[in-house]
């Protein structure tokens, strides 16, 4: 890494090298205007030649410059993708099983470079290195392998149509897919998007978050190395209002998939409607209820509720940010939760003891501190934390609020930070009504030993995922997505493939039908 | 519209064919149980010969019977499998995705040792080395990878049952599966000839499958095979081989513990050529459809029905094509036909845990199963060779016209000349019985209705094909032919993604992608 450019990052892993088009940044940075854009398996500067800095959130210092893609670059990428998708192209004629093989190969390459990728992720995003390495990278590899297997298994049907006809369906790729991914799990969100899109034979124009562009661009190298034909995957670092908007309003993009805030989700759906009615899938915000019944295993429930909120610095769309605790165990639960939050280790994300790193950037950091003030102002009881946790970098103390009421800002809005809200409830009917009283519906959980309660609550909650006696359990096999304003469509699992195919019905006149 | 194979063709290119290994040592000759190598309980061995020169290759431990229907070695294997399948065992508690990873690993290892395995196949099976290396090994690797992907994708369902109930299905492995496999496509079926089958045991261990999950016991049909089909602690038996033996297996299952049975048996598959077909394509596919692998395919297109106007021309070109063959040592480059293999009790015996479906799929879906794989003993006898010659004689006697071939070739090994009969009628033995050799029967037909009736007039129903440019005819035949696979304007097009199996006496069940039919329901009351 170029001296000085590291920005004095707390890099205990020792020297994370940034790569630019296959060349370590140390050599490349002197000749190029930052980490470039990936189009057609080649590296390009932004058409505008503009760059933006990406920041190490642990120090607030610049890591390096990155090419700033906008509309002109999106146009270039869409053209490359469209060319790769022409009838008769190598990608269109490739055996489905071979697409699977390429995805498996990509997983192999990520596994090979796992330590480097994990370090890069930590440097750019701030999450603890142990988490990047053990959780994020593990899930990335498994996700790609899972979708590799689907490539030749997502079947069309033959249909017993009335009359003398032969009728069948083909599952065809949608075409050019715009994919806009967030900064909280940069690599994993990239895998969630690429896996189903490539397994089903689509081509991709991906915009990566301006906060965390580095790991996704490194993956671009591996995509090329794995042998994907040029133009199949194109990756553009840039900002939402420029590059993101160019994708969602593009007339030659067939589908857009977005993961991020509900606010931006509205803009994307609108842009799709106003342009070419492209297909839209959205995975948006949440304010997920986590319901603890008094018969639950207390140790486990406290542990899981803590994890549900504080995991990834609280930067999870599915964070369990409304913890409803039944009256008779409320005090003990609060006491233990505070104890647990106080013992959470905040610090250098490259230190193996660290459980919580910095928030991703200054904007998020300030927004979270603002919510904490609102909580205090509106009468919630601040039980621990509530302040910055370091002199520099975007660290925030693990914060717990008790006696939170449903109408408080911190109980209604997505904080996306290490701030836990604990609410009290009496009856199961009451808590279901309160849990569902939200514009969001991404995830929910219930902790109980009672089979009837578990079944009843999991049916009653309006959320795309309900965990019973656990939280944040993800696997490539299980679908994930939101009810209501938490999104449209599902990712992962077999359901995750549906967003990436057009179903074509072919009907042929035949002389005589026989069963 | 470009044809495949033109310019920048992305279709995976076949690997360059290397030289077969000289001086191949057969390393594994014992019984594979619990990831260990065992001598047979009885101490018996049998000899394996090279069918190309009748020389002995090696001696193999023979899984044998000690008392009626109970093979001590099979018993050992079943016990190992049962242990591997116990609740809480490493195999039962393994993540489904991890089972998939192991299968992918196994595919990697097969790919690594492709040359060794292909050479073994050629020596042990008399299969052309080029075919073994490119086709069989290629299909074997792809099948394993395909099934690896299914491991975590075979879904149960939740069911909106009437009343206050919550109902869901779980797709559970069947348990200990006996799998009895033939000798003709050992690799593709994972069955390999003995030597490769046993070699596979070593790869299974290397890939990291827990002990007892796959067990391989070489043995003969009447003893080891019967022991499997009669065994009271085997939950399922899957057999590929002759219809005659298929009947014995189903009977044995009925007499013992009603184990589930899937059978992939013989065929006498019709291949129908209309006058409007592309003649070059039709002649070539009809030829390959029959002569591929010395005619030893259960799917062989052994009844070729040709429409009257093109009959003579079709016969002329078919003879020309058959005469082009070079026979010889299957290890030599340029050789297109090797020796015939042995008789039909040919079986290799495999016990898989699992499922219906190809081996890999069994492993994947049944996940948890233990596999005992019994490979046939390939004691070479002349039975198959002589049976083919005898059927050729019957053809001549019954009045078919012998156009070329018709006898043995060379003075060593079990080679038969590529043989073509014309003027064949439906009542002749060569038109009714499965020959399993390089003998092509060409019949004449006039109308659509007539040929449908004649094509279906057989106790078999494994495969069929129709060659025509007419979309109505193509779709009519796709529906009318009683066969598990119907090819249109092609033959023998098979891949891991497609189900395969027979109507009528060609079998029960489908291999590959026939997913679990067995669910268990666990209603929970709210």
Compute the Cα dihedral for B258, B263, B266, B267 and give only its sign: positive
H/E stretch holding A223 = helix A214-226
In the block, which residue shows the tokens 């049952």?
Answer: B161
pLDDT at B511: 62
pLDDT in tens, A384-433: 999 999 999 999 999 999 999 999 999 999 999 999 999 999 999 999 99
Is A94 part of the contact surface with chain B (CB cutoff 8 Å)? Answer: yes
Tokens of B429: 């033995």
The C-alpha atoms of residue A513 and residue A261 are separated, in whole angstroms, by 52
- Are the C-beta atoms of residues A460 and A483 closer than 8 Å to each other? no
The C-alpha atoms of residue A445 and residue B189 are separated, in whole angstroms, by 46
pLDDT at A333: 98
pLDDT at B10: 43
Angle at B63 between CA B61 and CA B65, to 5 degrees: 140
- Mean pLDDT over each residue of chain A, to the nearest integer: 93
Strand partners, A51: A67
Strand partners, B309: none
Which residues fall within 8 angstroms of residue A212, CB to CB, at 6 or more apart? A54, A121, A124, A125, A183, A186, A360
- Angstrom distances, CA of residue B455 to CA of B125, B391, B398, B442, B483: 32, 20, 20, 13, 10
pLDDT at B55: 75
- Are the C-beta atoms of residues A58 and A358 closer than 8 Å to each other? yes
Question: What secondary structure does DSSP assign to A273-330, as a single string?
Answer: HHTT--EEEEE-----EEEE-TTS-HHHHHHHHHHHHHGGGG--TT---EEEEEGGGH
Which member of B11, B146, B497 has the closest CB to residue A93? B11
Is B151 part of the contact surface with chain A (CB cutoff 8 Å)? Answer: yes
Distance from CA of A511 to the nearest CA of B (A): 6
Is A108 part of the contact surface with chain B (CB cutoff 8 Å)? Answer: no
pLDDT at B376: 37
pLDDT at A125: 97
In the block, which residue shows the tokens 């409007």?
Answer: B276
Is A148 part of the contact surface with chain B (CB cutoff 8 Å)? Answer: yes
How many helices (H) and strands (E) are present in chain A, helices listed first? 18, 24
Which member of A98, A150, A452 has the closest CB to residue B149? A150
Is B13 part of the contact surface with chain A (CB cutoff 8 Å)? Answer: no
Cα atoms in the 13 Å half-sphere on the side-chain side of B266? 21
Cβ neighbours of B434 (radius 10 Å): 23
pLDDT at A17: 59
pLDDT in tens, B267-313: 999 999 999 999 999 999 999 999 988 888 888 999 999 999 999 99
* Residue that wins the pLDDT comparison between A513 and A201: A201
3-class SS at B108?
helix
Strand partners, A447: A292
Q: β-strands B419-422, B401-404: how paired?
A: antiparallel
**Phi, psi for residue A170 in degrees, rounded to 5:** -115, 140
- Angstrom distances, CA of residue B91 to CA of A335, B83, B173, B200, B366: 42, 10, 11, 19, 10
A512: chain B residues, CB-CB within 8 Å: 476
What are the pLDDT tens digits along chain B (526 aa)? 444 434 444 444 556 788 888 888 788 888 889 999 988 887 777 776 676 777 777 777 766 544 443 468 888 889 999 999 999 999 999 999 999 999 999 999 999 999 998 888 777 666 788 888 888 888 888 888 998 999 999 888 888 888 888 888 888 888 888 877 665 544 444 334 566 777 888 898 999 999 999 888 877 666 677 888 889 999 988 888 888 888 988 999 999 999 988 888 889 999 999 999 999 999 999 999 999 888 888 889 999 999 999 999 999 999 999 998 888 887 888 787 877 754 322 222 333 332 223 333 333 333 222 233 333 333 334 677 889 999 999 999 999 999 999 999 887 778 899 999 999 999 999 999 999 899 999 999 999 999 999 999 999 999 999 999 999 999 999 899 999 889 999 988 877 888 888 889 888 877 643 322 222 222 222 2
**Phi, psi for residue B306 in degrees, rounded to 5:** -115, 135
> Which chain B residue's Cα is nearest to A146?
B149
pLDDT at B125: 66
Tokens of A51: 């760059």
Tokens of A303: 């542990």
Which residues fall within 8 angstroms of residue B251, CB to CB, at 6 or more apart? none
> Which chain B residue's Cα is nearest to A494?
B153
Compute the Cα dihedral for B241, B245, B251, B255 and give only its sign: negative
How many helices (H) and strands (E) are present in chain B, helices listed first? 16, 26
Distance from CA of A457 to the nearest CA of B (A): 11
B10: chain A residues, CB-CB within 8 Å: 90-91, 93-94, 98, 229
Is A452 part of the contact surface with chain B (CB cutoff 8 Å)? Answer: yes
- Are the C-beta atoms of residues B207 and B111 closer than 8 Å to each other? no
* Interface probe with A: pick from B14, B153, B168, B488, most Cβ of A within 10 Å: B153
Which residue numbers of B are catalytic? 264
* Interface probe with B: pick from A85, A97, A157, most Cβ of B within 10 Å: A97
Percentage with pLDDT > 70 across chain A: 94
**Phi, psi for residue A56 in degrees, rounded to 5:** -80, 110
pLDDT at B480: 93
- Angstrom distances, CA of residue B234 to CA of A177, A368, A453, B192, B257: 50, 62, 41, 22, 8
Is B10 part of the contact surface with chain A (CB cutoff 8 Å)? Answer: yes
Which member of B10, B475, B497 has the closest CB to residue A508? B475
Which member of B1, B472, B526 has the closest CB to residue A455? B526
> Which chain B residue's Cα is nearest to A91?
B10
pLDDT at B188: 43
The C-alpha atoms of residue B258 and residue B454 are separated, in whole angstroms, by 36
Which residues fall within 8 angstroms of residue B475, CB to CB, at 6 or more apart? A166, A508, A510, A511
- Angstrom distances, CA of residue B17 to CA of A174, A219, A258, B39, B133: 38, 34, 47, 36, 7
Segment A32-48 mean pLDDT: 89
The C-alpha atoms of residue B254 and residue A383 are separated, in whole angstroms, by 71
Interchain CB distance below 8 Å, B149 and A151: yes
Interchain CB distance below 8 Å, A149 and B11: no
Distance from CA of A13 to the nearest CA of B (A): 29
pLDDT tops 70 at residue A70: yes
Cβ neighbours of B22 (radius 10 Å): 7
pLDDT tops 90 at residue A252: yes
pLDDT in tens, A263-316: 999 999 999 999 999 999 999 999 999 999 999 999 999 999 999 999 999 999
Which member of B10, B152, B476 has the closest CB to residue A90? B10
Question: What secondary structure does DSSP assign to B291-309, as a single string?
Answer: HGGGG--TT---EEEEEGG
Is B101 part of the contact surface with chain A (CB cutoff 8 Å)? Answer: yes
Closest CA to B200 of B125, B136, B113, B131: B113
**What ipTM did this prediction achieve?**
0.80
pLDDT in tens, B361-415: 333 333 222 233 333 333 334 677 889 999 999 999 999 999 999 999 887 778 8
**Phi, psi for residue A44 in degrees, rounded to 5:** -130, 145
Give, as one character, the DSSP assignment of residue B109.
H
pLDDT in tens, A339-383: 999 999 999 999 999 999 999 999 999 999 999 999 999 999 999
Is B497 part of the contact surface with chain A (CB cutoff 8 Å)? Answer: yes
The C-alpha atoms of residue A86 and residue A108 are separated, in whole angstroms, by 28
Interchain CB distance below 8 Å, B10 and A91: yes
Burial of A367 (0-12, 13-18, 19+ CB in 10 A): middle
Which residue numbers of A are catalytic? 283
> Which chain B residue's Cα is nearest to A95?
B11
Distance from CA of A89 to the nearest CA of B (A): 8
B142: chain A residues, CB-CB within 8 Å: 97
Q: What is the dihedral of CA B205, B207, B210, B214, to 10 degrees?
A: -60
The C-alpha atoms of residue A231 and residue A221 are separated, in whole angstroms, by 13
Interchain CB distance below 8 Å, B145 and A100: yes
Which stretches of B232-337 are DSSP H helices?
243-255, 279-291, 311-323
pLDDT at A268: 97
> Which chain A residue's Cα is nearest to B146?
A149
> Which chain B residue's Cα is nearest to A102?
B12
- Are the C-beta atoms of residues A126 and A183 closer than 8 Å to each other? no
pLDDT at B221: 67
Is A338 part of the contact surface with chain B (CB cutoff 8 Å)? Answer: no
- Are the C-beta atoms of residues A295 and A454 closer than 8 Å to each other? no
Strand partners, A507: A167
Which member of A229, A456, A510 has the closest CB to residue B472? A510
Tokens of A265: 């989700």
Which member of A90, A101, A455 has the closest CB to residue B166? A455
A153: chain B residues, CB-CB within 8 Å: 146, 149-150, 153, 497
Distance from CA of A123 to the nearest CA of B (A): 30
Which residues fall within 8 angstroms of residue B442, CB to CB, at 6 or more apart? B304, B306, B311, B314, B315, B318, B420, B421, B422, B424
Give, as one character, the DSSP assignment of residue A35.
B
* Interface probe with A: pick from B10, B97, B357, B478, most Cβ of A within 10 Å: B10
The C-alpha atoms of residue A142 and residue A15 are separated, in whole angstroms, by 27
> Which chain B residue's Cα is nearest to A103?
B149
Which residues fall within 8 angstroms of residue B291, CB to CB, at 6 or more apart? B322, B325, B337, B418, B438, B440
Distance from CA of B165 to the nearest CA of A (A): 10
> Which chain B residue's Cα is nearest to A152?
B497
Is A163 part of the contact surface with chain B (CB cutoff 8 Å)? Answer: no
Which member of B97, B153, B480 has the closest CB to residue A494? B153
In the block, which residue shows the tokens 């299974």?
Answer: B204
The C-alpha atoms of residue A54 and residue A69 are separated, in whole angstroms, by 14
pLDDT at B181: 65
- Are the C-beta atoms of residues B491 and B483 closer than 8 Å to each other? no
For chain B, state the CA radius of gyration.
23
| Cβ contacts from A onto B, under 8 A | 88
Give, as one character, the DSSP assignment of residue B504.
G
For chain A, state the CA radius of gyration.
24
Which residues fall within 8 angstroms of residue A137, CB to CB, at 6 or more apart? A110, A114, A117, A118, A121, A187
């Amino acid at each position: 890494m170029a001296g000085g450019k590291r920005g004095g990052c707390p890099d205990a892993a020792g020297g994370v090298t940034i790569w630019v088009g296959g060349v370590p940044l140390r050599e490349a940075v002197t000749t190029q205007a930052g980490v470039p854009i990936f189009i057609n398996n080649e590296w390009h500067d932004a058409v505008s030649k503009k760059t933006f800095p990406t920041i190490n959130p642990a120090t607030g210092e610049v890591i390096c410059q990155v090419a700033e893609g906008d509309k002109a670059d999106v146009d270039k990428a869409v053209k490359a993708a469209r060319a790769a998708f022409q009838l008769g192209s190598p990608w269109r004629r490739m055996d489905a099983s071979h697409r699977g093989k390429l995805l498996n190969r990509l997983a192999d390459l990520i596994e090979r470079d796992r330590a480097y990728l994990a370090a890069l992720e930590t440097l750019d995003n701030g999450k603890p290195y142990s988490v990047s390495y053990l959780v994020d990278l593990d899930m990335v590899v498994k996700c790609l392998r899972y979708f590799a297997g689907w490539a030749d298994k997502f079947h069309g049907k033959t249909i017993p149509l009335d009359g003398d006809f032969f009728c069948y369906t083909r599952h065809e790729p949608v075409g050019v897919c715009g994919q806009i991914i967030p900064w909280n799990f940069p690599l994993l969100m990239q895998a969630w998007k690429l896996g189903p899109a490539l397994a089903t034979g689509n081509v991709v124009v991906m915009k990566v978050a301006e906060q965390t562009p580095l790991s996704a661009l490194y993956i671009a190298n591996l995509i090329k190395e794995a042998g994907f034909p040029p133009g199949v995957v194109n990756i553009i670092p840039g900002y939402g209002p420029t590059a993101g908007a160019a994708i969602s309003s593009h007339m030659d993009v067939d589908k857009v998939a977005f993961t991020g805030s509900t606010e931006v989700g509205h803009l994307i759906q609108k842009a799709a409607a106003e342009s070419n009615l492209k297909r839209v899938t959205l995975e948006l915000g949440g304010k997920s209820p986590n319901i603890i019944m008094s018969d639950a295993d207390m140790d486990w429930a406290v542990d899981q509720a803590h994890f549900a909120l504080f995991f990834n610095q609280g930067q999870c769309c599915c964070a369990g940010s409304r913890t409803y605790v039944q009256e008779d165990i409320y005090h003990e639960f609060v006491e233990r939760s505070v104890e647990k939050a106080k013992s959470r280790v905040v610090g250098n994300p490259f230190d193996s003891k660290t459980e919580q790193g910095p928030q991703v950037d200054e904007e998020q950091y300030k927004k979270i501190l603002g919510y904490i003030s609102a909580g205090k102002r509106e009468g919630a009881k601040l039980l621990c934390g509530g302040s910055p946790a370091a002199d520099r970098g975007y660290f925030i103390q693990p914060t717990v609020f008790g006696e939170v009421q449903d109408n408080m800002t911190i109980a209604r809005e997505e904080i996306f930070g290490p701030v836990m809200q604990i609410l009290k409830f009496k009856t199961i009917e009451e808590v279901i009504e309160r849990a569902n009283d939200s514009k969001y519906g991404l995830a929910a959980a219930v902790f109980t030993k009672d089979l009837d309660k578990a079944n009843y609550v999991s049916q009653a909650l309006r959320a795309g995922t309900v965990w019973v006696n656990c939280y944040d359990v993800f696997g490539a096999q299980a679908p994930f997505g939101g009810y209501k304003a938490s999104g449209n469509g599902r990712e992962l699992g077999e359901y995750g493939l549906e967003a990436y195919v057009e179903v074509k019905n072919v009907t042929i006149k035949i002389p005589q039908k026989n069963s | 519209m470009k044809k495949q194979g033109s310019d920048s063709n992305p279709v995976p290119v076949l690997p360059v064919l290397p030289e077969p290994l000289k001086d191949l040592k057969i390393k594994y000759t014992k019984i594979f149980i619990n990831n260990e190598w065992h001598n047979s309980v009885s101490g018996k061995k049998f000899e394996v010969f090279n069918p190309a020169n009748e020389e002995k290759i090696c001696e193999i431990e023979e899984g044998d019977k000690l008392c009626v229907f109970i093979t001590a070695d099979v018993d050992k294997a079943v016990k190992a499998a049962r242990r591997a399948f116990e609740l809480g065992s490493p195999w039962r508690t393994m993540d489904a995705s991890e089972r998939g990873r192991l299968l992918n690993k196994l595919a990697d290892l097969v790919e690594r040792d492709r040359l060794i395995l292909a050479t073994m196949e050629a020596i042990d099976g008399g299969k052309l080395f080029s075919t073994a290396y490119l086709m069989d090994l290629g299909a074997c690797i792809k099948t394993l990878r395909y099934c690896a992907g299914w491991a975590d994708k075979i879904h149960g369902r939740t069911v909106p049952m009437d009343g206050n109930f919550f109902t869901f299905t779980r797709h559970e492995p069947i348990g200990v599966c006996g799998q009895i496999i033939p000798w003709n496509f050992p690799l593709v079926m994972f069955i390999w000839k003995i030597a490769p089958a046993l070699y596979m045991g070593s790869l299974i261990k290397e890939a990291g499958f827990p002990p007892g999950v796959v067990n391989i016991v070489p043995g003969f049909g009447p003893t080891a095979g019967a022991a499997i089909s009669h065994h009271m602690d085997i939950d399922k038996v899957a057999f590929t081989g002759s219809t005659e033996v298929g009947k014995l297996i189903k009977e044995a299952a009925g007499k013992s513990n009603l184990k589930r049975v899937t059978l992939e048996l013989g065929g006498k598959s019709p291949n129908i050529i209309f006058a409007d077909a592309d003649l070059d394509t039709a002649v070539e596919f009809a030829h390959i459809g029959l002569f591929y692998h010395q005619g030893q395919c259960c799917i062989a297109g052994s009844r070729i029905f040709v429409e009257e106007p093109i009959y003579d021309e079709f016969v002329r070109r078919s003879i020309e094509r058959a005469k082009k063959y070079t026979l010889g040592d299957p290890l030599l480059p340029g050789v297109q036909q090797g020796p015939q293999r042995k008789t039909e009790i040919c079986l290799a015996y495999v016990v898989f845990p699992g499922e219906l479906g190809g081996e890999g799929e069994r492993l994947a879906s049944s996940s948890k199963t233990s596999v005992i794989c019994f490979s046939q003993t390939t004691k070479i006898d002349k039975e198959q060779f002589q049976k083919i010659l005898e059927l050729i004689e019957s053809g001549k006697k019954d009045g078919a016209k012998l156009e070329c071939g018709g006898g043995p070739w060379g003075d060593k090994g079990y080679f038969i000349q590529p043989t073509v009969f014309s003027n064949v009628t439906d009542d002749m033995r060569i038109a009714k019985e499965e020959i399993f050799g390089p003998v092509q029967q060409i019949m004449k037909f006039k109308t659509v209705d007539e040929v449908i009736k004649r094509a279906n007039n057989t106790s078999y129903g494994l495969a069929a094909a129709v060659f025509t440019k007419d979309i109505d005819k193509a779709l009519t035949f796709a529906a009318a032919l009683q066969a598990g696979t119907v090819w249109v304007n092609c033959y023998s097009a098979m891949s891991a993604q497609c189900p395969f199996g027979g109507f009528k006496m060609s079998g029960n069940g489908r291999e590959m992608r026939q997913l679990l039919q067995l669910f268990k329901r666990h209603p929970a009351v709210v």
